[in-house]
A and B are shown apart, each in its own frame.
Chain A
């Protein structure tokens, strides 16, 4: 018989053991009787000779060698039974644990690939990004000329690459599809360290002006549009009316953190030879640069080398005036660069969720302590019946670990939902969202947390239960429990209140920040405004003239839609998250500052009527109109702060500035508009008619002011554009309200999680206060009875309980205030327009906690006030 056989047949073994011993006793008794002993006496002697039957049985069970398992089994069954008996306690404890564990697991699952895992590339620590120091935009853009100079001169890198986004349109079958892709220099995949699964990598012969049009497909695109055709290599596909040859397919596992949605790549094909003409795309700061550090070279060493390069100009490497590298170059690891913008929010959220876990554990400890108090009598009885102290401790541990296991399992389930919720809520800046999953590492983490929580909450009551003096416990009614335990529980409640306060203050500060952000005027009227991108592709729209005509005709068609009150288009849209055009502006001698310098400013090439349609106030001069066209004098509008900064007294009207390669007269000054985000200070901008914009943009964003619901007009606008020219891509449809909301998405994300955690903390703290007070009232029923017998009024008794609750709350609040002052330091970067010590938030949270605590103690206090002295005293 193997041990598990024996375990399974335990019942049979027990009955056999019983039978065997009875047989022995019977034979012995019969023998004694046959020797002349009187039957009753014979029975007694036989029993004495054998010894206590239970003792013998226990020894026999020990001899079976499966004792520990049997005990465990017994413990488990007993634990399940006692948990079922106290369903309320078990359900609450399991739920509390599940919330703590589930929230922690979900959050750690979500941040794991972002903060803790290395990027999915070989030796990913060696991948670095390079950008201009002190650049205006946060997307670390550089010019091709700069990239070329660094790649040529630097000795810190194995390989370097520059890239930009590329959104080609396939005009294959029915409806045109815009693909997300990248134009990359030849070294791109080498820097990442990933080789194609099929075909060849890009090489320098692909990456030259007028080089062969070749593309590399992602595994996903290859499967989706080409049915995983193994003969795809060499096939030609039509993109924007150009035939591209497929040269490779990337592996399925390839994760492109720099452009997660990209699924097609082609060579950048910039000109590395003719740099002396600064008016070419090679000198526009619109590329991103990555490089692979040489083995053994750190980011710091590379930074020192690039600083030296930036400071020493060489004749063979000309630099455009706006790319003088005077502000130096910045090298950072790709991982830092990717996570730097979300790191503060994520770390704050991790801190918050750990507080939730802490408060959950404290709460369960409290529950177990309360339960331990109720069971003092039971444990004393069991000890008196011979249960050893280790055995009882083990029993308690089994119970609490069982709770933790149930809580952990449910928590894992919750984590599944939680992760999905986090992904759904996540702000667009969150990198590697596709890699988020409940990984085995996180599962182990959850399991570890579960077990530790189980032990942490199990040990204290188990030790307390077995430390009790047997006699006093048996004699005393458990109602009058020791003061020590009450103090522990009170301390736990104080801790809960303190932690809840920290979480609530953080949530409050974030809430106020978000309110402040949305109170920021974007500079235009965002309501009832529909926006969407219209692209020009195909041979028929290749020339500038054709594009101009297409945009104008489309705009006329859109304006004819019933319900549209105004419509216009612009080359870039405020708050869209995309910065498509920053150009150098230079000034005549009448401006403040140097004549030769170019200053970066946002270029808006717009249809006349854009300013009116957006509702941007005119500060001086005039707006653009239909007379501003090719052939007539070039005019621009500039924004207010730009005008103030560059021209005395803001009197800019009539001054001339040079944008691109045209000199234009400032015809008007308009109010400032938030371009990048509501929280970024206003940047300089100029507006000019799209017809005078010195080139025709491939993409225009239409803005449509509607009478009714803006989002309902999407299809109408799309069809209006298609009525002018079929097969043009119309994408990124969004209402301006959506875009405004999106620009605060990261803070909203953090706020949503903090609110959820704060709410959980508040409920748990209230439950803790309630639990401790009702326990206290139950324990002190006799004392209260005596007090009222001696003449204490109901009000006095009410006050007694409420005073106790307030004492705990105030203590918790004081400790929590200290904690919040320290903890909110971690929130600094997320706050906007609110001090982390904002008194209003603190006061509000304290008032809220006081109110909740008062509500939580109301029921116990009321119960105490209704104690009938006659009944309580009779119970003694």
Chain B
């Protein structure tokens, strides 16, 4: 494990939506996926994962369904709704714009220092 970064404010929802967009997952799997995909750079605070899931479900971006896992236990699976898909696209686009803008500013200041 390398150094871990805290998630910027508000990005947890975006990441959850993205992970769920790849297919229905239960909460633990979502946490695992986030950690693996980010190469353990992003530390997902598990304590805030579930409130976030419930919030997204409450807003209608995620649908929840109780299904059996491979091991035969019942688990709550979250999947993306159409509304959630639209929200993911909108948030992803805005994140893209933001990072580009931030990158641009950073490169500018680099030149300025040199």
B47 within 8 A of A: yes
Given A19-B74, A23-B73: A63 in contact with B51 (beta carbons within 8 A)? yes
Tell me which of B31, B48, B50 contacts A20 (CB under 8 A): B50
Interface residue total, chain A, C-beta cutoff 8 A: 22
Asked if B76 is at the interface of the complex by the 8 Å CB criterion, the answer is yes
- A55 with B54: CB separation less than 8 A: no
* Pair A27/B58 contact, Cβ less than 8 Å: no
B75 within 8 Å of A (CB atoms): yes
Interchain CB contact under 8 A, B54 and A60: yes
Q: Is the CB of B46 within 8 A of A20?
A: no
Partner of B27, one of A24, A51, A63: A24
> A-B pairs with the 3 shortest C-beta distances?
A51-B47, A59-B51, A63-B54
Candidate in A17, A20, A28, A56 with the most chain B CB atoms within 10 angstroms? A20
Q: Are B55 and A63 in contact (CB under 8 A)?
A: yes
What are 25 residue pairs bridging A and B, where the CB atoms are less than 8 Å apart in the complex? A17-B54, A19-B74, A20-B26, A20-B27, A20-B75, A23-B27, A23-B28, A23-B75, A24-B28, A24-B31, A24-B50, A26-B73, A27-B28, A49-B46, A51-B45, A55-B47, A56-B50, A59-B47, A59-B50, A60-B50, A60-B54, A63-B51, A63-B54, A64-B54, A65-B58
Given contacts A23-B75, A51-B46, contact A60 B28 (CB under 8 A): no
Q: Which of B45, B51, B73, B74 gathers the greatest number of chain A CB atoms within 10 Å?
A: B51
Residues on A with C-beta less than 8 A from B51 are 56, 59-60, 62-63
Chain B, 48-68, contact with A by CB distance < 8 Å: what is the 0/1 string? 101110110010000000100
B28 CB, nearest partner CB in chain A, Å:
4
A840 within 8 A of B: no
Residues A23 and B26 in contact, CB atoms below 8 Å apart? yes
Residues of B contacting A59 with CB < 8 Å?
Answer: 47-48, 50-51
Given A21-B50, A24-B50, A51-B47, 17 more pairs with CB closer than 8 A = A17-B54, A19-B74, A20-B50, A20-B75, A23-B26, A23-B76, A26-B73, A28-B28, A50-B47, A55-B47, A56-B50, A59-B51, A60-B54, A63-B54, A63-B55, A64-B58, A65-B58
Q: How far is the CA of A19 from the CA of B46 in the complex (A)?
A: 16
Chain B at the A interface: SS class: helix
In angstroms, how far is the closest chain A Cβ from the Cβ of B17? 15
CA distance A26 to B72 in the complex (A): 13
CB distance from A533 to the nearest CB of B (A): 80
Interface pair B46/A50, CB less than 8 Å apart:
yes
Q: Tell me the bound Cα distance from A20 to B46 in angstroms.
A: 13
Per-residue B-contact encoding for A31-62, CB less than 8 Å = 1, 0 else: 00000000000000000011110011001101
Alpha-carbon distance between A286 and B58 when the two chains are bound, in angstroms: 80
What residues of B have a CB within 8 angstroms of the CB of A27 in the complex?
28
Of B28, B74, B75, chain A has the most CB atoms within 10 Å of the CB of B28
**B31's closest neighbor in chain A, by CB?**
A24
A16 in the interface, Cβ–Cβ < 8 Å? yes
B76–A16 touching, CB < 8 Å: yes
Alpha-carbon distance between A55 and B48 when the two chains are bound, in angstroms: 10
In the assembled complex, the Cα of A65 lies from the Cα of B60 at a distance in Å of 12
Chain B residues with a Cβ closer than 8 Å to the other chain, count: 19
User: Considering the chains assembled together, what is the distance between the CA atoms of A65 and B50 in angstroms?
Assistant: 14
B72 shortest CB reach to chain A, Å: 12
Which B residues touch A28, using CB under 8 A?
28
Bound complex: CA of A21 vs CA of B75, how far in Å?
Answer: 10
Which residues of chain B come closer than 8 Å to A55, judged between CB atoms?
47
Contact with B along A51-86 (1 / 0, CB 8 A): 110011001101111000000000000000000000
CA–CA, A23 to B26, complex, Å?
9
Bits for B93-113, please: 1 = Cβ < 8 Å to A, else 0.
000000000000000000000
Instruction: Give a binary string over A1-38; 1 marks a CB under 8 Å from any B CB, 0 the rest.
Output: 00000000000000011011101101110000000000
Min Cβ gap B33→A in Å is 13
Which A residues from 434 to 458 make CB contacts under 8 A with B? Answer: none
B96 to chain A minimum Cβ distance, whole angstroms, is: 27
Contact with A along B19-54 (1 / 0, CB 8 A): 000000011100100000000000001111011101
Residues of the B chain whose Cβ atoms lie less than 8 Å from the Cβ of A64? 54, 58
Complex Cα distance A52/B46, Å? 11
* Residues of chain A within 8 A of B76, CB atoms compared: 16, 19-20, 23
A21 CA / B26 CA spacing, docked (Å): 11
Question: How long is the Cα–Cα vector from A59 to B51 in the complex, in angstroms?
Answer: 6
Which chain A residues border B46 with CB–CB below 8 Å?
24, 49-51
Find the B residue at minimum CB distance from A62: B51
A51 to B49, CA, bound (A): 11
Minimum C-beta distance from B78 to chain A (A)? 10
Contacts of B50 in A (CB 8 A): 20-21, 24, 56, 59-60
* Bound CA–CA A833/B14 (angstroms): 89
Separation in Å of the B43 CB from the closest CB of chain A? 10
Residues of B within 8 A of A51 (CB): 45-47
Q: Looking across the interface, which residue of chain B has its beta carbon closest to that of A66?
A: B58
Residues of B within 8 A of A65 (CB): 58
- CB-CB nearest in chain B for A50: B46
Give min CB distance, B84 to chain A, whole Å.
15
Establish whether residues B58 and A63, one from each chain, have CB atoms under 8 Å apart when the complex forms.
Answer: yes
B66 shortest CB reach to chain A, Å: 8
The minimal Cβ–Cβ distance linking B1 to chain A, given in whole angstroms, is: 13
Residues of A within 8 A of B74 (CB): 19, 23
Minimum CB–CB distance from B15 to chain A (whole Å) comes to 17
Query: Cβ of A56 and Cβ of B47 under 8 Å apart?
Result: yes
Q: How far is the CA of A56 from the CA of B51 in the complex (A)?
A: 7
Query: In the bound complex, what is the Cα–Cα distance between A59 and B47 (angstroms)?
Result: 9
Cα separation A132 to B26 with both chains bound (whole Å): 95
Residue of B nearest to A30 (CB): B71
Smallest beta-carbon distance A836→chain B, Å: 68
CA distance A24 to B29 in the complex (A): 9
Complex interface residues of chain A between 346 and 382 (CB less than 8 A to chain B): none
- The residues of B that contact A16 with a CB separation of less than 8 Å are 66, 76
A16 to B76, CA, bound (A): 9
A534 to B15, CA, bound (A): 101
Complex Cα distance A62/B54, Å? Answer: 9
Kindly provide the distance from the CB of A42 to the nearest chain B CB, expressed in whole angstroms.
Answer: 14
Bound: A55/B55 CA distance, A: 16
List A698-742 residues whose CB lies under 8 Å from chain B.
none
Question: Whole-angstrom distance from the CB of B92 to the nearest CB of chain A?
Answer: 22
Complex contacts, B28 vs chain A, CB 8 Å: 23-24, 27-28
Please measure, in the bound complex, the distance between the C-alpha atom of A21 and the C-alpha atom of B47, giving whole angstroms: 10
Q: For residue B58, which residues in chain A have a CB less than 8 angstroms away from its CB?
A: 63-65
The residue in chain B whose Cβ has the minimal distance to the Cβ of A27 is B28
Minimum CB–CB distance from A875 to chain B (whole Å) comes to 46
Residues of chain B within 8 A (CB-CB) of A19 are 74, 76
A479 to B48, CA, bound (A): 44
Q: Digit string of A737-762 for contact with B (CB within 8 Å is 1, else 0)?
A: 00000000000000000000000000
